[in-house]
Amino acid sequence: MEEIRTDVLVVGGGPAGLSAAAEAASAGADVLIAEGDLHLGGQLVKQSHKFFGSKDEFAGTRGFEIARLLRDEIAQCGDHVKIMLNTTVSGYYPDEKLVTAMVGEEEYVHISPKKIVLASGAQERLIPFPNNDLPGVYGAGAVQTLMNVYGVTPGKRVLMIGAGNIGLIVSYQLLQAGVEVAAILEAMPRIGGYWVHAAKVRRLGVPILLRHSISRAIGGDVVTGAMVCELDEKFAPVGEPQKVDCDTICLAVGLTPSNELLWQAGCKMKYVPFLCGHVPFRDKNMRTSNSDIWMAGDVCGIEEASAAMIEGRIAGMSAAASLGFKVSSENFEGCHARLHNLRAGEVGEKIRIGVSGVTVDGWEANV
C-alpha cells in the first residue's frame, strides 16, 4: 500500500484547516490537506450570505467568497501544500503514528505525518420523531449543498425545524432559490438566531411558530407532509396536532463536533454543553493531550468560521514550530488577541465559559 509522508497532515479543508495549512506552509513545513469532499472550503462554500463577526475575519463578505480567498492563499504556498480531495481520513494508529485514509470508495492509503491538525468540522444533529428516516427529511447543511453548491432544487415546499441562525438563513436561501417555506418551527419560546435574519424571512411572509415542534413526518415512501404540535413550558405537546403539506422537512437543530478521530487518538475529552458535545482539552495553542495532534474549528466546539480561521492559524503555526520551523511570537500574539476580541462581550459568553473549562496552561504539568 502506498505510504505518504508529510510534515503536517491537515484533516479537513474547511476554514480552520485551510488557515492551518497556510500558516504551517508559510513557516516552511510541507503540508498535506486531506479533504473528504470534492472541493475545499467546508461549510463556507454553501454560504451565500454576508458573514457576521469581526472585520478582521472578513465580516460582510459572502461565505463562498471567503472560501475563495483562503484557496488563493493556499495556492500562494506553491509546492509546500499538497491537496487530496475525496480523501476521508478514517483511522489513527497511535503506536505507529499512522493514519489511514480512503480515496474515493475503494482505495486506501497510509499517511505517515510528523504532526496532525484535525479540522474535521461538525455534523448535524437529528431529533427523534416517527418517520424521521423518510426520504425528504434532510439536514440543513444538505439542503444548502443541494441548492447553493449544485443548483438543485431541494423540493417545492419546505418545513423548517429550528429558528437558530442556520434555520433562519437557510429559510431565506430557500426563498432566494424560488422554494416555498411553509413555516419555521421553534421549540423554544424565543428565536435563537440574530434578529436581522429573522426579520428578513418574516418580511417575506414566512411564519415563525415559537413553542412548536414536529410530532411526525407523513408519507408512505417519501415525505408528503408533517404533523405540527404546540408545546407547553415543559416541552410537552398540547392541543390537536395540525397537518402541514410539504415535500421536504429541513432539520436545523444544531451541530455536534465530528470528533471520531480525536477519540481514536486517545485525546483527553470532556462533554461541554456550551460547545455542543464532547471536545478535547487543549492548551492555548490548540494542542491536544496527544502531543502530535492539534485541532481547530468546529471540531473543538461549535462556534463560527471567524473563530475557526484564527484557531486554524494558531494550530498551524504551533505545529510548524514544534518541528523547528520559525514562527514569530508576534503572529501568535496577534492571533490570540483577535480570538480574544471575537469572544468578548455578551454573544461570546457561552463560548468563553465553555472554552475556559477545557483549556490547560500547558501539557507537561497536566498530563
Partner 1 sequence: MDLIERHPILDFSHGEKVSFSFDGRDMEGFEGEPIAMALHANGVRIYRKTPEMRRPRGFFCAIGKCSSCFMVVDGVPNVRTCVTPLKSGMKVETQNGRGRVNLFAEEAS
Least distance CB 118 / ligand FAD (angstroms)? 9
The answer to whether 60 contacts partner 1 (rule: CB under 8 A) is no
320, 23 Cβ separation under 8 angstroms: yes
Number of residues that bind ligand FAD (CB under 6 A): 38
Least distance CB 178 / partner 1 (angstroms)? 7
The answer to whether 133 contacts partner 1 (rule: CB under 8 A) is yes
The one-letter code for the residue type at 300 is C
259, 277 Cβ separation under 8 angstroms: yes
Least distance CB 89 / ligand FAD (angstroms)? 4
Helix (H) or strand (E) holding 160: strand 157-161
Q: Which stretch binds ligand FAD (CB under 6 A): 6-14, 75-83, 215-223, 343-351?
A: 6-14
Q: 208-210 and 180-186: which strand pairing?
A: parallel
- Whole-number Å distance between alpha carbons of 110 and 72: 28
Least distance CB 143 / partner 1 (angstroms)? 8
In terms of phi and psi (left: phi > 0; alpha: psi -120 to 50; beta: otherwise), the region of 264 is: alpha
DSSP string for 320-350: HHHTT----HHHHHHHHHHHHHHT-TTTTHH
The answer to whether 17 contacts ligand FAD (rule: CB under 6 A) is yes
Spacing of C-alpha 314 from chain mean position: 18
Subset of residues 209 to 228 that bind partner 1, contact rule: CB under 8 A: 221-222
Kindly state the cell numbers that stand for 126.
437529528
66, 40 Cβ separation under 8 angstroms: no
Q: Give the one residue of 15, 17, 36, 297 binding partner 1; rule: CB under 8 A.
A: 36
The answer to whether 106 contacts partner 1 (rule: CB under 8 A) is yes
The answer to whether 34 contacts ligand FAD (rule: CB under 6 A) is yes
Least distance CB 101 / ligand FAD (angstroms)? 7
16 binds, among ligand FAD, partner 1, none (CB under 5 to 8 A by kind): ligand FAD
166 binds, among partner 1, ligand FAD, none (CB under 5 to 8 A by kind): ligand FAD
Kindly state the cell numbers that stand for 118.
484535525
The answer to whether 91 contacts ligand FAD (rule: CB under 6 A) is no
269, 260 Cβ separation under 8 angstroms: no
The answer to whether 15 contacts ligand FAD (rule: CB under 6 A) is yes
Instruction: With CA atoms as reference, report the closest residue to 311 among 295, 324, 323.
Output: 295
Q: Give the one residue of 56, 73, 124, 180 binding partner 1; rule: CB under 8 A.
A: 124
Instruction: With CA atoms as reference, report the closest residue to 294 among 230, 363, 237, 228.
Output: 363
43, 121 Cβ separation under 8 angstroms: yes
Which positions ≥6 away from 133 have C-beta within 8 Å? none
Least distance CB 355 / partner 1 (angstroms)? 25
The answer to whether 316 contacts partner 1 (rule: CB under 8 A) is no
Q: Which residue number, 6 or 258, has a Cβ lying nearer to ligand FAD? A: 258
Instruction: With CA atoms as reference, report the closest residue to 197 among 188, 184, 210.
Output: 184
Q: Which residue number, 172 or 281, has a Cβ lying nearer to partner 1? A: 172
Contact positions vs ligand FAD (CB under 6 A): 11-17, 34-37, 42-44, 47, 51-53, 88-89, 119-122, 141, 165-166, 169-170, 258, 297-299, 303-306, 308
Contact positions vs partner 1 (CB under 8 A): 36-38, 48, 62, 64, 86, 88, 104-106, 123-124, 133-139, 141-142, 145-148, 150-154, 176-178, 221-222, 258
